[in-house]
Amino acid sequence: MPYTLGEAAKATGKDRATISRAIKNGRISAEKDELGQWAIEPVELHRVYPPLQQHNSARNSDDATERNTDSEAEIRELRAKLEAADERDRLKDEMIEDLKTDRDHWRQQATALLTDQRPARRRGWWPFRRSKTSP
């Protein structure tokens, strides 16, 4: 059901002149009825100006209950996401520790391979050696 200019002003909390100006500037489309009054579709009006909140106490209590239910669901969802993130962090930390242990093991092994671990040869006091092929 279309709004009149006054109803549109009440529904949005704007002044009648503001809405009339928006119609004349083309921001809101509206038609005049046979009595010469503006007929403004609610969808068209609220596309430009959001509706005012109703002060109906029954509606407010229903909205509050719905918001509380939504909030509780959001809280449960956020807690589940937080627990999942904590679990991922714990697994990541465990993996990092495993990788550090592996790295240290491989580093030790590489160091052992790079150092000469053969027993030292005893050398005599004579600096010149005899060749085995000599007569």
Please give the DSSP secondary-structure letter assigned to residue 123.
-
Taking alpha carbons only, the member of 89, 81, 11, 17 closest to residue 50 is 11
- pLDDT, one tens digit per residue, over 19-34 is 999 999 999 999 988 8
Q: How many other C-beta atoms lie within 10 A of the C-beta of residue 23?
A: 21
- pLDDT, one tens digit per residue, over 16-69 is 999 999 999 999 999 988 888 899 999 999 999 998 876 544 555 566 667 777
Helix (H) or strand (E) holding 79: helix 57-114
| Residue with tokens 């580093």, as numbered in its chain | 107
